[in-house]
Structure 1
Amino acid sequence: MQASMLEEIVQVPNPYPIRFATEYPEVLRLCDQARELAWSPADIDFTDIREADLPPEVRAAGGEWWSLRSWMEHGAIPYGAERLREAIFSHQPIEIKQHVVNFINEELRHHEASVRIAQALGDYHPEPRADYFKQVIPRFHDERDEKQMSFFAGLAVNTLFEQLSGELLQARYENARFKSIKTACQLILRDEARHIQFGRIIMRRFFSELPADEKRLLGVKVAKKLRGSLLNGVYAVVNLPDDERQRAGRNRALAADHGLGATHPDDEVAIIRRGLTQIREDVAPYGVEIPEVPEVDRAAAQV
């Protein structure tokens, strides 16, 4: 081979040694469960919402809501791809890599299920129509915060948000009046429960070993992500500009009032507050403190 050809080869980290022996049996059990409980959005019959007698404005509101959910689920896919690359080149054992692959596949089917619901309602949006979502959602692909933390600390931060998502998804499941939407929410919740369990395993195994600076950074990143992105119309409408908050809130309420598996804007902050309180209780024994999130914590004080 010519020397000039060697110079053109892109250098990548060394993937060896490849560790195959099981080091995290609890994670391996989650991987086994993922295989046993695999499902496909294509198997869900969405005829009930496709043929439902719903006003056009309700279908539009539901389509916007489930399009938002699909974008959020899709945002987890590149995140997972980055974590898989890290797992490979940091020589993680196979069950860690397998879990991350399962996570990617599961988030992809959550995305697909959300798209199919929006399509059945007749109004799937392939991209945001509102400018604020075009500004907010790309932030989820910014890896700078994750790359400031160790591999497992970064995974743990994501898991904490899976807990918040699970709280909101439970509310959406309870809101759903249509069998197809309820089934999709139930299956997504089952996957999310495994993601949360993985995070709890990681916390037990690694949090006590994290240096103080990384524990502080972890708490700061959770509060930053919640404030800077997820309260801007994704988890709640509280941080949106007035006109957009009214528009998005009105449509979200319309979808919730008709049982389309949405969270009502008046309930969102209270749900997030409960989830955040539980997360703080979970990480406190490890010396991790999540700073004040004014939109959530001050609302609690007012109540």
Structure 2
Amino acid sequence: MSTAYLEVPTILDRPEQRFPLDLGVRIPRIRDLLRNATHNQWNPATDVDWDALRPEDYTEEQRLGARYYWSRRAWSEYGAISESPTLQIRYCVGKFAPDMQLYFTLRSQEESRHAEACYRMAEKLGGYFEAPAKTEYQGAVATHGVRRAALDPDASLESTIAALVCAAEEIAFDVFRHLVEITPNPVARQICKFIMRDEVRHCAFGWHFIQSRLPHMTADEIENMRQAVITMIEKVELNGYHSAWLAPSSPSTEVEMAHDRLAWEAGLGAIVEELEKPIFAASLARIRAEMKNAWGIDIPMFRHHKYDTEI
């Protein structure tokens, strides 16, 4: 068996240099996020009013659709559970501001709560699914590559955070905000509201970090960051990572979309293509404008077969 892959260096190959240990405030806005996150912790087991779910009020078909939807939510949240400590390693090895290191200890907890809440929701509706119904769909929801990039010394941390947080998480936040507005079931709405409240801080972290780094970045580094954002949108988000209807057309994609529609019609927390299409386009427009205003970079328009015009 080839061992060539073992020879690829990562930041883990660098010697640890912990001292001098700096715990002072370097990015006050991120330190404020830490304090806010500490104050607003919640427990999926006890803070969600599970008795109000009333799964018996829904048909077996509706519960099945919602089980798939919430299982898929759990899969995407699970990815962040391993992504957070990987980034934490990067902060420590690179001796980035201690505010980032401290905040991400709670960010990891928040992502685990999101995954647990989604898992519990699927379980109470009849059972959590461990994998997509069709294996062809796994490529769309498996990973966005952040864990590998975080350990790659040639991938800048600014590029990773800009792509993951200021692009992908902003898109997810907009969807959760809409779900809070349209979801009738009180438990599904409560979970979306809890997750959205945490996502506000996750998104703010990204913008505060990049703003603190911009004065120290070269033109080439800023361009690399721009390209990372483009890749995240084009190759991950527009490939269906968060939304099944954006995935390449296939029988498995149709199955996932059918599950989403059943859950949405039942009011159990999902969203469907005709509602999410304008939200997704508006998210891209907002991100594009904010990156232009805050960072001075131009994010291009994108094409996707589900849209008649560029978005």
Greater shift in the superposed pair: 53-62 or 11-20 = 11-20
CA contact (8 A) 1:174 1:261 kept: no
Query: What residue is the counterpart of 2:180 in the other structure?
Result: 173
| Aligned twin of 1:150 | 156
Is 1:58 equivalent to 2:72 in the alignment? Answer: no
Distance 2:156 2:250 in 1: 38
What is the total number of aligned residue pairs between the two structures?
293
Relative distance call for 1:24 and 1:158 in structure 2 (3 A) is: same
> Contact between 2:107 and 2:202, CA under 8 Å: does it hold in 1?
yes
Q: CA deviation at 1:249?
A: 1.6
Q: 1:156–1:202: 8 Å Cα contact kept in structure 2? A: no
Secondary structure of 2:42's partner? coil
Task: After the TM superposition, list the runs of 4 or more consecutive aligned residues in structure 1 that deviate by more than 4 angstroms.
Answer: none
Give unmatched runs, 5+ long, in structure 1: 1-9
Q: Supply the AA of the counterpart residue of 1:167.
A: D
Query: 1:277 and 1:302, CA in 2 relative to 1: closer, same or farther beyond 3 A?
Result: closer
- Is 1:35 paired with 2:38? yes
The answer to whether 1:159 aligns with 2:168 is no
Greater shift in the superposed pair: 131-140 or 271-280: 131-140
Residues 118-161 of structure 1: CA deviation (Å, up to 9, x unaligned): 11111311222321332233333554445343223322322121
TM-score by length of 1: 0.88
**Structure 2 match to 1:222:** 229
> Counterpart amino acid of 1:255?
A
The CA RMSD over aligned residues, in Å, is 2.3
Is 1:274 matched up with 2:282?
A: yes
Identity among equivalent positions (%) equals 23
Q: Deviations over 1:215-243 (max 9, x none)?
A: 22222222322332333333232332332
Flag the 1:79–1:302 CA change in 2: closer, same or farther, 3 A: closer
Q: What are structure 2's unaligned runs of at least 5 residues?
A: 1-12
Greater mean deviation of Cα atoms: 10-19 or 200-209: 10-19
Q: What are the superposed Cα offsets for residues 87-122 of structure 1, whole Å, 9 maximum, x if unpaired?
A: 111123332111111111111101111111111111
CA contact (8 A) 1:216 1:289 kept: no
Q: How far apart are residue 300 of structure 1 and its match? A: 6.1
Match of residue 185 from structure 1: 192
Please tell me the residue identity of whatever aligns with 2:249: P
Q: Which residue of 2 aligns with 1:96?
A: 100
Call closer, same or farther: CA 1:142–1:61 in 2, change over 3 Å. Answer: same
- In the aligned structure 2, how far is the partner of 1:254 from the partner of 1:287? 43
Tell me the residue number matched to 1:3: none
Structure 2 contact 55–63 (Cα < 8 Å) conserved? no
Structure 2 CA distance for partners of 1:228 and 1:153, relative to 1, 3 Å? closer
User: Counterpart of 1:294 in structure 2: which amino acid?
Assistant: R
Change (3 A) 1:240 1:135: same
Which amino acid in the other structure matches residue 82 of structure 1? T
Cross-structure match for 1:85: 89
Aligned to 2:23: 20
Partner of residue 202, structure 1:
209
2:267 counterpart residue number: 259
CA contact 2:149–2:155 (8 Å) conserved in 1 = yes
Q: What is the Cα deviation at residue 302 of structure 1?
A: 7.2
What is the distance in 2 between the residues matched to 1:143 and 1:267? 31
Amino acid aligned to 1:24: I
What's the counterpart of residue 7 of structure 1? none
The alignment partner of 2:304 has SS state of: helix
1:235-282 residue CA offsets vs partner (Å, 9 max, x unmatched): 232332332332222221111111111111222232111111111111
Answer whether contact 2:174 2:283 (CA < 8 A) is retained.
Answer: yes
Distance across 2 between alignment mates of 1:158 and 1:45: 31
**1:166 deviation in Å?**
0.4
Asked if the contact 1:58/1:255 (under 8 Å) is kept, the reply is: yes
For residue 108 of structure 1, what is the aligned residue in structure 2?
112
Quote the Cα distance in structure 1 between the aligned partners of 2:146 and 2:31: 30
Match of 1:117 in 2: 121
- In 1, Cα distance between equivalents of 2:255 and 2:141: 18
One-letter code aligned to 1:58: Q
